[in-house]
Amino acid sequence: MADKSNDPVAIWQNMIGEMEKGFNAFANQAMTSPEFSRAVNQVGGVTAGAQKQLGDLMEKYLVSMNLPSQSQMVGMAERLQSIEGQLNEIKALLHQVHSKSGASDGANPAPPRPPRTKRPPARGGEPK
Protein backbone atom coordinates (compact mmCIF):
# COMPACT_ATOMS: atom_id res chain seq x y z
CA MET A 1 0.00 0.00 0.00
CA ALA A 2 1.25 3.48 -0.86
CA ASP A 3 2.50 5.59 2.01
CA LYS A 4 0.35 8.75 2.42
CA SER A 5 3.45 10.82 3.06
CA ASN A 6 4.49 10.17 -0.55
CA ASP A 7 1.06 10.48 -2.12
CA PRO A 8 1.04 13.77 -4.04
CA VAL A 9 -2.75 14.09 -3.80
CA ALA A 10 -2.68 13.58 -0.03
CA ILE A 11 0.20 16.05 0.26
CA TRP A 12 -1.75 18.63 -1.77
CA GLN A 13 -4.91 18.14 0.30
CA ASN A 14 -2.96 18.38 3.51
CA MET A 15 -1.26 21.53 2.29
CA ILE A 16 -4.59 23.18 1.43
CA GLY A 17 -5.95 22.23 4.86
CA GLU A 18 -2.92 23.63 6.64
CA MET A 19 -2.97 26.83 4.58
CA GLU A 20 -6.64 27.32 5.40
CA LYS A 21 -6.04 26.84 9.11
CA GLY A 22 -2.97 29.09 9.09
CA PHE A 23 -4.68 31.90 7.19
CA ASN A 24 -7.82 31.72 9.34
CA ALA A 25 -5.75 31.86 12.53
CA PHE A 26 -3.69 34.78 11.23
CA ALA A 27 -6.78 36.68 10.06
CA ASN A 28 -8.62 36.02 13.31
CA GLN A 29 -5.72 37.41 15.25
CA ALA A 30 -5.63 40.51 13.06
CA MET A 31 -9.39 40.96 13.37
CA THR A 32 -9.31 41.09 17.17
CA SER A 33 -7.41 44.38 17.09
CA PRO A 34 -9.25 47.67 17.80
CA GLU A 35 -7.68 49.13 14.63
CA PHE A 36 -9.48 46.52 12.54
CA SER A 37 -12.80 47.30 14.22
CA ARG A 38 -12.30 51.03 13.70
CA ALA A 39 -11.39 50.62 10.02
CA VAL A 40 -14.26 48.24 9.23
CA ASN A 41 -16.82 50.36 11.01
CA GLN A 42 -15.58 53.57 9.37
CA VAL A 43 -16.11 51.98 5.95
CA GLY A 44 -19.48 50.56 7.04
CA GLY A 45 -20.58 53.92 8.45
CA VAL A 46 -19.68 55.79 5.28
CA THR A 47 -21.52 53.22 3.15
CA ALA A 48 -24.62 53.37 5.36
CA GLY A 49 -24.59 57.17 5.31
CA ALA A 50 -24.26 57.26 1.52
CA GLN A 51 -27.06 54.72 1.19
CA LYS A 52 -29.37 56.86 3.34
CA GLN A 53 -28.62 60.02 1.35
CA LEU A 54 -29.20 58.19 -1.91
CA GLY A 55 -32.48 56.80 -0.56
CA ASP A 56 -33.70 60.27 0.46
CA LEU A 57 -32.77 61.68 -2.93
CA MET A 58 -34.49 58.84 -4.75
CA GLU A 59 -37.64 59.33 -2.68
CA LYS A 60 -37.84 63.00 -3.75
CA TYR A 61 -37.14 62.09 -7.36
CA LEU A 62 -39.90 59.44 -7.43
CA VAL A 63 -42.42 61.83 -5.87
CA SER A 64 -41.57 64.45 -8.50
CA MET A 65 -42.01 61.85 -11.26
CA ASN A 66 -45.43 60.91 -9.82
CA LEU A 67 -44.20 57.37 -9.07
CA PRO A 68 -44.71 55.49 -5.81
CA SER A 69 -41.78 55.85 -3.45
CA GLN A 70 -40.43 53.14 -1.17
CA SER A 71 -42.24 54.48 1.87
CA GLN A 72 -45.51 54.40 -0.05
CA MET A 73 -44.81 50.83 -1.15
CA VAL A 74 -44.00 49.94 2.46
CA GLY A 75 -47.34 51.41 3.52
CA MET A 76 -49.03 49.32 0.86
CA ALA A 77 -47.16 46.20 2.03
CA GLU A 78 -48.29 46.83 5.60
CA ARG A 79 -51.91 47.00 4.48
CA LEU A 80 -51.49 43.86 2.38
CA GLN A 81 -49.91 42.08 5.32
CA SER A 82 -52.79 43.05 7.53
CA ILE A 83 -55.27 41.74 4.91
CA GLU A 84 -53.19 38.57 4.58
CA GLY A 85 -53.30 38.13 8.37
CA GLN A 86 -57.05 38.50 8.42
CA LEU A 87 -57.40 36.04 5.54
CA ASN A 88 -55.27 33.55 7.46
CA GLU A 89 -57.48 33.95 10.51
CA ILE A 90 -60.58 33.34 8.38
CA LYS A 91 -58.88 30.32 6.79
CA ALA A 92 -58.00 28.91 10.21
CA LEU A 93 -61.59 29.41 11.41
CA LEU A 94 -62.94 27.74 8.28
CA HIS A 95 -60.51 24.89 8.79
CA GLN A 96 -61.76 24.44 12.37
CA VAL A 97 -65.40 24.46 11.29
CA HIS A 98 -64.56 22.06 8.49
CA SER A 99 -62.74 19.59 10.70
CA LYS A 100 -65.53 19.73 13.29
CA SER A 101 -68.11 18.92 10.62
CA GLY A 102 -65.97 15.89 9.67
CA ALA A 103 -66.08 16.68 5.94
CA SER A 104 -63.20 15.87 3.59
CA ASP A 105 -61.67 18.65 1.49
CA GLY A 106 -60.97 16.28 -1.39
CA ALA A 107 -57.76 17.50 -3.03
CA ASN A 108 -55.00 16.74 -0.53
CA PRO A 109 -56.52 15.95 2.83
CA ALA A 110 -54.21 15.63 5.79
CA PRO A 111 -54.18 12.01 6.97
CA PRO A 112 -55.78 11.27 10.35
CA ARG A 113 -53.44 11.94 13.27
CA PRO A 114 -51.93 8.88 14.96
CA PRO A 115 -52.72 8.32 18.66
CA ARG A 116 -50.49 10.05 21.23
CA THR A 117 -49.78 6.85 23.10
CA LYS A 118 -46.16 6.18 22.23
CA ARG A 119 -43.85 5.17 25.05
CA PRO A 120 -40.07 5.37 24.86
CA PRO A 121 -38.33 2.06 24.10
CA ALA A 122 -37.04 0.21 27.14
CA ARG A 123 -33.29 -0.34 27.36
CA GLY A 124 -33.62 -3.70 25.66
CA GLY A 125 -35.29 -2.03 22.68
CA GLU A 126 -38.90 -2.98 23.53
CA PRO A 127 -41.44 -0.32 24.47
CA LYS A 128 -41.91 0.20 28.20
Q: Which CB sits closer to other proteins, 29 or 103?
A: 29
Burial of 85 (0-12, 13-18, 19+ CB in 10 A): exposed
Whole-number minimum distance, CB 126 to other proteins, in Å?
13
Phi-psi region of 119 (alpha: psi -120 to 50; beta: other; left: phi over 0): beta
Q: Which residues bind other proteins (CB under 8 A)?
A: 1-3, 5-6, 9, 13, 16-17, 19-20, 23-24, 27-28, 31-34, 36-38, 40-42, 44-45, 48-49, 51-52, 70, 73-75, 77-78, 81, 84-85, 88, 92, 110-111, 113-121
Whole-number minimum distance, CB 66 to other proteins, in Å?
21
Whole-number minimum distance, CB 16 to other proteins, in Å?
6
**Amino acid identity at 48:** A
Cβ partners under 8 Å of residue 4, min gap 6 = 10
Q: Which CB sits closer to other proteins, 41 or 103?
A: 41
Instruction: State the Cα–Cα distance between residues 96 and 98, nearest whole angstrom.
Output: 5
Q: Which CB sits closer to other proteins, 50 or 103?
A: 50
Contact between 83 and 90 under an 8 Å Cβ cutoff? The reply is: no
